[in-house]
């Protein structure tokens, strides 16, 4: 009987091509074919390293349909690599369905670990890293995004988000409203690339820097938010007290903004006494 092949899940660089590991390169050189999120993108990466291999497109629109055929190839003894456009496959990238199908078929799935933007950002953030929650991309629609953030406002573990250039300002504004303007934040931009920048400070301060400089809004971002501290409840109590007083003189929206700024409590936590 034919010995089944292995599915190698291979991490690729998130910017700096020198971050492709020797074992990753060796694996890409020796497999029968490479499953890639965007075959043109991966062809460029392979060309840089002088590798020529058959490429199979595997993206969110065809993954279910492709998984069965790929499992059949593995069963026939072919070895396959799975890569995404950048970083570790399956981390806000395709691959989950294929990996699950391969495991369900009893096939060997083996990692070739390497770059991951979330972990790279966490490693330089200086924010507690012993317990963290990876949230990936927030919902694109403003209402759903704010709802998700309000569910996370009391989370005590470190929070990690991915964000793109075109929504970074809106997301920082939503962070200020949900987590409060004083919550510590690290913004890691263009990691391992020419314009790598790591900004840290209270949400409001990072927001000001990004708002004032268009260059700080370019590229790819990881946002790391400190978890809600032990004193979060005290800040919310103080914020509600201020909000109630300020409502005697200001419109509720103005009162909430000011009370949030003064207390450091998330604006959303001030309404309704919930
Ligand atoms: N699989 C990838 C990983 O392991 O990090 C993530 C893929 S996800 C589609 C792309 C997002 O990752 C970007 O929008 C950005 O939030 C983050 N990202 C990727 N490369 C980055 C970099 N060099 N610097 C900062 N963030 C990056």
Q: What is the pLDDT of residues 11-54, one digit of tens each?
A: 999 999 999 999 999 999 999 999 999 999 999 999 999 999 99
What pLDDT, on the 0 to 100 scale, is given for residue 188? 98
Please give the number of the atom of ligand 1 that sits closest to the Cα of 164. 14
* pLDDT of 273 above 70: no
Percent of the chain beyond pLDDT 70?
99
Please give the number of the atom of ligand 1 that sits closest to the Cα of 192. 23
Neighbours of 240 (CB within 10 A): 19
CA of 157 to the centre of ligand 1 (A): 21
Better pLDDT: 2 or 197: 197
3-state SS of 67-109 is HHHHHHHHHCCCCEEEECCCECCCCCCCCHHHHHHHHHCCCEE
Tell me the two tokens of residue 260.
């949030």
Pairing of strands 184-189, 220-225: antiparallel
The domain over range 6-115 is classified in CATH as 3.40.1010.10: yes
- Model confidence at 272, pLDDT cuts 50, 70, 90, reads low
Per DSSP (E only), the strands in the chain are: 6-10, 33-36, 55-57, 80-83, 108-112, 132-137, 158-164, 184-189, 197-202, 220-225
CA of 252 to the centre of ligand 1 (A): 39
Please give the number of the atom of ligand 1 that sits closest to the Cα of 196. 24
Using an 8 Å Cβ cutoff, are 43 and 146 in contact?
no
CA of 222 to the centre of ligand 1 (A): 7
**Protein residues whose CB sits closer than 6 Å to any atom of ligand 1:** 14-15, 84, 86-88, 91-93, 116-118, 162-164, 188-193, 220-222
What is the CATH topology of the domain spanning 118-225? 3.30.950
What pLDDT, on the 0 to 100 scale, is given for residue 200? 98
Using an 8 Å Cβ cutoff, are 160 and 135 in contact?
yes
CA of 220 to the centre of ligand 1 (A): 6
Please give the number of the atom of ligand 1 that sits closest to the Cα of 121. 25
The mean predicted confidence, pLDDT, of the chain is: 94
CA of 62 to the centre of ligand 1 (A): 22
Using an 8 Å Cβ cutoff, are 180 and 172 in contact?
no
* pLDDT of 141 above 90: yes
Q: Give the mean pLDDT of 264-272.
A: 79
CA of 15 to the centre of ligand 1 (A): 9
* pLDDT of 210 above 90: yes
Which residue's CA is the nearest one to ligand 1's atom 13? 220
Which residue's CA is the nearest one to ligand 1's atom 2? 87
* pLDDT of 274 above 50: no
Please give the number of the atom of ligand 1 that sits closest to the Cα of 193. 23
For the stretch 173-208, pLDDT in tens is 999 999 999 999 999 999 999 999 999 999 999 999
What pLDDT, on the 0 to 100 scale, is given for residue 209? 97
- Model confidence at 266, pLDDT cuts 50, 70, 90, reads confident
């Amino acid at each position: 009987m034919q010995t089944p092949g292995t599915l190698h899940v291979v991490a690729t660089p998130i910017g700096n091509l020198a971050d492709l590991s020797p074992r990753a390169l060796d694996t890409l050189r020796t497999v029968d074919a490479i499953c890639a999120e965007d075959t043109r993108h991966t062809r460029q990466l392979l060309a840089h390293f002088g590798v020529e291999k058959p490429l199979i497109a595997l993206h969110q629109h065809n993954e279910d349909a492709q998984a069965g055929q790929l499992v059949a190839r593995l069963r026939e003894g072919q070895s396959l690599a799975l890569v995404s456009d950048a970083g570790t496959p399956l981390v806000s990238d395709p691959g989950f369905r294929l990996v699950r199908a391969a495991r369900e078929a009893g096939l060997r799935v083996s990692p070739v670990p390497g770059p991951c933007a979330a972990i790279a950002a966490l490693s330089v953030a200086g924010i507690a890293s012993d317990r963290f929650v990876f949230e990936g991309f927030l919902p694109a629609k403003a209402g759903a995004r704010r709802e998700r953030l309000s569910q996370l406002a009391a989370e005590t573990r470190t929070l990690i988000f991915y964000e793109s250039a075109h929504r970074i300002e809106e997301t920082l504004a939503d962070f200020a409203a949900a987590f409060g303007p004083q919550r510590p934040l690290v913004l890691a931009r263009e990691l391992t690339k020419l314009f790598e920048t790591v900004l840290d400070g209270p949400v409001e301060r990072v927001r000001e820097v990004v708002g004032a400089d268009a260059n700080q809004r370019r590229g790819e971002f990881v946002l790391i938010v400190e978890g809600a501290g032990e004193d979060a409840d005290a800040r919310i109590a103080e914020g509600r007290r201020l909000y109630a007083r300020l409502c005697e003189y200001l419109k509720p929206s103005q009162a909430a903004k000011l009370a949030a700024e003064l207390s450091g409590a998330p604006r959303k936590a001030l309404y309704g006494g919930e």
